Amino acid sequence: MLTSGNRADISVAQDLLSDVAGCHILENCGYDSGSHRAFLRSQNNAPVIPGRKNRKIKIMYDEALYKQRPTIERYFRRLKENKRIDTRSDKNDRSFLAFIGLAAVGIFFN
């Protein structure tokens, strides 16, 4: 799902995760919201999201599992090594998503 660059990711998180059930969901503290956590639990998911620093009540999460998150970040960094993806030079969404698919296949085979 593509969104505009100035739109917060959490605004479409429920749409993206509506078909995911029974998983651990690793997200950064930008997704720290009571309603988002409740949605994840209603889908039988376990949220692994650290609380923001300004939270009054500390959030408990699986820190050992959260340490796997940099692996995901490295994958997206490798995708963005392609200047065409990083700068979004394609004019339409369909060709942009197709190039992301090609880059993902290239990363998989390397």
13-55 confidence digits (pLDDT tens) = 999 899 999 999 999 988 999 999 999 999 999 999 999 988 8
Q: pTM for this one?
A: 0.76
The string over 15-39, giving b where at least 16 C-beta atoms fall within 10 Å of a residue's C-beta and e elsewhere, is eebeeeeeeebbbeeebbeeebbeb
CA distances 108 to 60, 71, 73, 86, Å, are: 34, 14, 15, 19
Enumerate the domain spans of the chain: 1-62, 68-110
